[in-house]
């Protein structure tokens, strides 16, 4: 299985919606063009910042088709899966593969706290449903309240042929490094999942990052990656330091609305979040976001 394309900055693309909470096709096509022109290497449909957890399956399929059509082969389009049941994950994986997704990303089940053997079987079963499609596992302990172990990822990487990589959003660089160390012998592709740690993740062998910031400042996050792979480590680190205050300003807002707030502040017009979330109101949190964006020359 060719996995050479699995690298770079992948954006968990925002899902623009209209007043009835249906995907706004025109704005989604505009957002696809914007991130591609900003230099991303790939698009992840319906990741965490794509608000997957509130989108119906038929809307996901419609949105994926729009993204693949608009990308038109310029970058790879991946499909994010965050369902709890293995059965539903398999159904979504098959849908994504049938519609031409370049790969799928699978979050560990939220709300539950599966044993390691249960998690192994969950990921293995999903991957076996789409044996010709690259599968990335997605470790996000901050959202599901438990982490994947290095042992589990090592086992998946060595025993399931089409589980070829992962996104680690632990924010623990030691854990990211362990995932890389344990799987490097099979060319497993580890992505950093924290925008603020893209440089650090790549120093340990990550192939890139799945970066929310690419939705509203692709030029800054892509700059970190491009300078790093060009060997200009000093300027890559400076690019990381330029990005970090903007990215950290998001943390005061209700998840995940800040990404849409910031895109709108840059004139992207991506609309509101799905309810129950609301746009960040005027006040100290939004003031800090605006201040850091101005400092970085974004608005």
Q: Which sequence positions are flagged as catalytic?
A: 138, 167
Q: Largest alpha-carbon pair distance within the chain?
A: 51
Q: Is the N-terminal amide bond of 270 cis, ω within 30° of 0?
A: no
Classify residue 198 as exposed, middle or buried by CB count within 10 Å of its CB (0-12, 13-18, 19+).
buried
Angstrom CA distances, 164 to 91, 237, 280, stand at 20, 28, 37
In angstroms, the CA 64 to CA 99 distance is 8
- Alpha carbon 172 to chain centroid, angstroms: 17
Q: What is the DSSP letter of 23?
A: B
Angle at 296 between CA 295 and CA 299, to 5 degrees: 85
Q: Is the separation of the CB atoms in 99 and 63 below 8 Å? A: no
**DSSP sequence for 279-297:** PPPTTHHHHHHHHHHHHTT
Give me the count of residues in the chain: 299
- Other Cβ atoms closer than 10 A to 70: 18
Q: Is the separation of the CB atoms in 55 and 95 below 8 Å? A: no
């Amino acid at each position: 299985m060719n996995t050479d394309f699995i690298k770079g900055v992948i954006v968990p693309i925002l899902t623009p919606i209209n007043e009835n909470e249906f995907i706004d096709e025109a704005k989604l096509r505009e957002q696809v063009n914007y991130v591609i022109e900003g230099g991303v290497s790939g698009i992840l449909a319906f990741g965490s910042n794509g608000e997957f957890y509130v989108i119906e399956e038929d809307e996901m399929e419609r949105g994926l088709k729009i993204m693949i059509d608009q990308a038109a082969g310029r970058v790879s389009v991946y499909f994010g899966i965050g369902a709890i049941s293995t059965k539903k994950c398999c159904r979504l994986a098959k849908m994504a593969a049938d519609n031409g997704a370049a790969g799928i990303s699978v979050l560990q089940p939220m709300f539950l706290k599966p044993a390691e053997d249960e998690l192994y079987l969950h990921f293995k079963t999903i991957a076996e449903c789409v044996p010709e499609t690259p599968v990335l596992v997605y470790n996000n302990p901050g959202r599901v309240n438990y982490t994947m172990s290095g042992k589990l990822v090592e086992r998946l990487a060595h025993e399931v042929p089409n589980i070829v990589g992962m996104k680690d959003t632990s924010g623990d660089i030691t854990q990211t490094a362990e995932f890389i160390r344990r799987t490097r012998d099979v060319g497993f592709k580890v992505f950093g999942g924290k925008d603020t740690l893209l440089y650090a993740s790549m120093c340990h062998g990550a192939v890139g990052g799945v970066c929310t910031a690419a939705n509203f400042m692709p030029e800054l996050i892509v700059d970190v990656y491009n300078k790093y792979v060009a060997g200009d480590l000093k300027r890559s680190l400076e690019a990381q330091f330029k990005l970090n205050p903007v990215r950290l300003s998001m943390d005061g807002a209700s998840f995940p609305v800040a990404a849409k707030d910031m895109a709108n502040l840059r004139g992207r017009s991506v609309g509101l979040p799905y309810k129950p979330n609301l746009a960040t109101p005027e006040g100290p949190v939004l003031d800090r976001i605006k201040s850091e964006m101005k400092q970085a020359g974004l608005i």
